[in-house]
Amino acid sequence: MGISVEEMWKSWKHSEVYNWTTNDVVTWLNEQVKLPQYGEYFRRNRIDGQLLPRFALNENNYFTNVMHIKDLRHKQLLMIKAADLVLFGQSASNH
């Protein structure tokens, strides 16, 4: 069976995380991802819930040049945590 990309996107747009503010995302970055040193860049770039799927992608240029995340381990951690959040929601990322 499975789920289509369209169904997954529709589900994402109705999730609580999709409606997160920049402050909500920075709180997630601090408490769940444990990378508070990047909070300033998230605020400056107005990263909100709608933009989180972008962090689940391996966009090295975006991470390095826009978000100033140069450490490969930090990029990978952020990708994994963002993908988890987008795919499974907030309750899954709290564990």
Predicted structure pTM score: 0.85
Interatomic CA distance for residues 45 and 63, integer angstroms: 12
pLDDT of the chain, 95 residues: tens digit per residue: 677 878 877 888 888 999 999 999 999 999 999 999 999 999 999 999 999 988 888 788 888 888 999 999 999 999 999 989 988 887 655 54
Q: Judge whether 2 lies within some domain.
A: no
Q: Judge whether 20 lies within some domain.
A: no
Interatomic CA distance for residues 65 and 32, integer angstroms: 23
Q: Judge whether 8 lies within some domain.
A: no
Q: What is the CA radius of gyration of the chain?
A: 13
Q: Which domain holds residue 54?
A: 31-95
Cβ neighbour number for residue 39 with a 10 Å cutoff: 17
Q: Judge whether 24 lies within some domain.
A: no
CATH of the domain at 72: 1.10.150
Q: Judge whether 23 lies within some domain.
A: no
Q: Judge whether 68 lies within some domain.
A: yes
Number of domains in the chain: 1
SS3 at position 73: helix
Interatomic CA distance for residues 95 and 22, integer angstroms: 22
